[in-house]
Amino acid sequence: MFIGYFTERPYQDPRSGYFGATGRSITDLTMSNASYDPKLGAQLYNRYLDEKIYAEEMGFDGLMLNEHHSTPFCMGGVMNLEAAILARITNRAKIVLLGNILPIWDDPLFLAEELAEIDMISQGRLVTGWVRGTGRESVAHNAVAPYNWERFQEAHDFIIDAWTRPGPFRWEGEHYHFRYVNPWARPYQEPHPPIWIPGVMSRNTVAWAAEKRYPYVMLATELEPTKESYGYYTDVAKEHGYETGTQHRGYLFKVHVDETEELAEQAGRKYVQGPSNPFLEGNQGVVRPFIQNLPGLTQRNNLLPTMRSFAAAASRGRAAQHRKENKKAKEQPKPKKFDTYTDQTNKYSIISGTPKSVIPKVKHVLETLRPGSIFFWDGDGAMSHEDSMRSLRLMGSDVIPAVREIADELELKGPFEVDPKTNKPIVDTDEANSTDNPSSHPSG
Amino acid sequence: MQSSVEFEQLQIAIPSGDVAYIVAGRGKPVVYLHHSWGSPGALPFHHNLVALGLRTIVPDLPGWGGSHRPAWARDVRDIAILVGCVIDALKLGPVTLIGSGFGGYIATELATMSPSRMSSLILIGAVGLYPEEGEILDQMMLSHRQYIQESFRDLQTYIDHFGEEPEPEIRTLWDLSREMTARVSWKPYMHNRRLKHLLPGVSCPVLIVQGESDKVVPCSVATQSESLLPNSRLEVVPNAGHLVEFEEPKLVSDLVHDHIRNL
């Protein structure tokens, strides 16, 4: 089992009025950066980096970062920069990028170089993940929405070539053109860093990931639709002649641990009290469908079962289609109330409690989905540094050891134990090497 | 004045695939190129043209409506080239091209690259030039309904044309049209900075029609066009929005008729 830690790194500004239990909601892509305070930004960036260092100390296997643009709910616009810093200031945990938004890169050679450098500085700890991005990202970086999928695939092929094919060579593609591909930086890992694909609802992407045997990480989707989406991955895998295992399945979910149930509820409620985040159920703000669902961004009729989860659908501006799908599936005759903390705790969307109450719920998730890698999404919304640190400490002392035992019982093997490409066990040579490598931490 | 003649629905093959079009009337041919959001069919404006003795042809632009999508097209010029193919395939000879909004952009591009196909040009609220003042309204940042509503002079005129809630077919038309628009004109959005260098070479007579209250295309674009096109005339229609030919079909069809009659 691979256990990672994630927070979306919200821009938390209590003075903004868009914050806290009584905060106003934000209409996506309408908030001016005139209200951005770089001094506050400086504190927050450093806070989130400090928390990542502590997460490593507490035993997490991976430190997950993500990327969004022109929005206060995620400060990771330049995720690779944070990853490069983590590469230097941490020394054991994998740096998991889920993910770079390939279609918005007009120069993917730059991305290939950046990721190779991160992999080298971290001495082979990079897990790279690639996404297509939402409409927000296409708007923010003005990437032509209808070519999103084509550009994603071509940029992927190009970066793999740039990493693995001896240069110099030419690339004359449909969307990318390079007359001299010969990056003077190659990844530390051979043939290249592992690639994991995160997602929410595009069937195209799941099929593509399954075809390439890339682990697929479902991002905070509800349990049953997630299970069905894994099923779709498995079906595609069978068509390509292999069986899937736990190493192909990843899952991100909201978990907060605290010293008492009261504190846990207090902090857990803060998930939905930060700046509006279309991906944080209960505090999604106003998502404008015509932007999230830009023309040609994804095929209207090729969506995963997660479409039936209102939160996932709404984050993509597909609430109307969600209602239609729901009607078709005859799941619920009436729209359900989704926006309360209690609703989410009841359906395992938020797990918040003491270690004693959290561990059985995490176990339920593991039994239901059987993922080989999981990520605890914590420290988000309006949670303070203190909230995050208390949770991290208890995760380290109680939850992570217990989850490892449960994972062993359930035989949940992660992608560093069983190779998703071959389904064969991976012989761990890192431990032997790590004693030769004490200088990877600056304090060395 | 409006003709009661039924428009015939036909298809013509060009290298990118079949192009759907409607046609009615006899006389000098005029080809109408629709807005970015597609052609909703024969308009009162089109019937007026027929009644004025013009053979009126309204194609769905290649990639829009019932016309085959050229998935390879990346630029407005690609669509203009294909419209040239339509004119050739229909054996129209030098023709009067009427382009509205985005259709005006295509007509302008075609005029710069293929003047022999054109006897005259009529640009109604046309985009294509980068506005020296103001900005072209960005439909990608608005819902379909908001954008079309802004294209009319006021809300009531919008409702008169599309009702409180547009029909599902119309919403689908808007949705698919926007995708095709994005494929060729996402960036630069609705303009080509090279055009201003080419417009002085367009020698055919050009009528420029601009709604005085156009909220989509700044009036500066029309005045720029007038100053760059050597044989052009600008008509500003008072109290009209971007969709002048929808709002003032008689006035605009009369302007077209006069323009063609004087050729």
Q: Is A319 on the interface with B (CB under 8 A)?
A: no
Region of poorest pLDDT, from A24-33, A300-309, A381-390, B176-185: A300-309
E-strand ranges in A24-147 read 62-65, 94-101, 126-131
pLDDT bracket for residue A23 (50, 70, 90):
confident
Q: According to the model, what pLDDT value does residue A438 have? A: 39
Instruction: Flag whether pLDDT at A307 surpasses 80.
Output: no
CA triplet A370, A374, A380: central angle to 5 degrees? Answer: 140
Mutate: best of A139, A290, A293, A318, partner B, most B CBs <10 A: A290
Separation of alpha carbons B261 and A116, rounded Å? 68
pLDDT bracket for residue A287 (50, 70, 90):
confident
Decide if A108 contacts A91 (C-beta within 8 A). Answer: no
Ordered by where they begin, the domains of chain A are 2-440 (3.20.20.30)
Decide if A217 contacts A340 (C-beta within 8 A). Answer: no
**A289 neighbourhood in chain B, CB within 8 Å:** 143
Say what percent of chain A tops pLDDT 70. 87
Separation of alpha carbons A365 and B64, rounded Å? 47
Q: According to the model, what pLDDT value does residue B1 have? A: 59
Residues in contact with B121: Cβ distance below 8 Å, sequence separation at least 6, in sequence order = B96, B97, B99, B107, B108, B111, B202, B204, B205, B206, B207
DSSP state of A427: P
Cα separations in angstroms, A123 against A188, A233, A434? 6, 31, 10
Say what percent of chain A tops pLDDT 90. 75
Cβ A147–B183 below 8 Å, yes or no?
yes
Separation of alpha carbons A434 and B252, rounded Å? 79
Tokens of A165: 């094919």
Separation of alpha carbons A2 and A129, rounded Å? 15
Q: Exposed, middle or buried: residue A50 (CB in 10 Å: 0-12, 13-18, 19+)?
A: middle
CA A439 vs. chain centroid, Å, equals 29
Separation of alpha carbons A63 and A96, rounded Å? 6
Distance from CA of A146 to the nearest CA of B (A): 6
Instruction: Flag whether pLDDT at A41 surpasses 80.
Output: yes
Q: Is A324 on the interface with B (CB under 8 A)?
A: no
Mutate: best of B138, B172, B178, B184, partner A, most A CBs <10 A: B178
Residues in contact with A346: Cβ distance below 8 Å, sequence separation at least 6, in sequence order = none
**Helix (H), strand (E) at residue B21:** strand B17-24
Q: What is the pLDDT of residues A58-105, one digit of tens each?
A: 999 999 999 999 999 999 999 999 999 999 999 999 999 999 999 999
Q: According to the model, what pLDDT value does residue A139 have? A: 95
Cβ A294–B182 below 8 Å, yes or no?
yes
Q: According to the model, what pLDDT value does residue A311 have? A: 61
Q: What is the pLDDT of residues A384-416, one digit of tens each?
A: 999 999 999 999 999 999 999 999 999 999 999
Q: According to the model, what pLDDT value does residue A441 have? A: 39
**Cα first-last separation, chain B:** 22
In terms of average pLDDT, the best of A21-30, A343-352, B243-252 is B243-252
Instruction: Flag whether pLDDT at A30 surpasses 80.
Output: yes
Region of poorest pLDDT, from A23-37, A205-219, A327-341, B180-194: A327-341
Q: According to the model, what pLDDT value does residue A142 have? A: 96
Separation of alpha carbons B148 and B158, rounded Å? 8
- Pick B182's closest partner by Cβ from A289, A291, A295: A295
Q: According to the model, what pLDDT value does residue A298 have? A: 74
Task: Say which amino acid occupies A376.
Answer: F
A313 or B22, higher pLDDT: B22
Q: What is the pLDDT of residues A105-129, one digit of tens each?
A: 999 999 999 999 999 999 999 999 9
Residue of A nearest to B142 (CA): A290
Q: What is the mean pLDDT of residues A288-316?
A: 71
Q: According to the model, what pLDDT value does residue B3 have? A: 66
Instruction: Flag whether pLDDT at A329 surpasses 60.
Output: no
Instruction: Flag whether pLDDT at A440 surpasses 80.
Output: no
Mutate: best of B186, B187, B189, B190, partner A, most A CBs <10 A: B186
Ordered by where they begin, the domains of chain B are 8-261 (3.40.50.1820)
- Pick B183's closest partner by Cβ from A142, A291, A296: A296
Distance from CA of A228 to the nearest CA of B (A): 29
pLDDT bracket for residue A19 (50, 70, 90):
confident
Tokens of B219: 């009036």
Q: According to the model, what pLDDT value does residue A317 have? A: 63
Mark the ranges of chain B whose per-residue pLDDT is less than 70: 1-3
Q: Over chain A, what is the mean pLDDT? A: 90
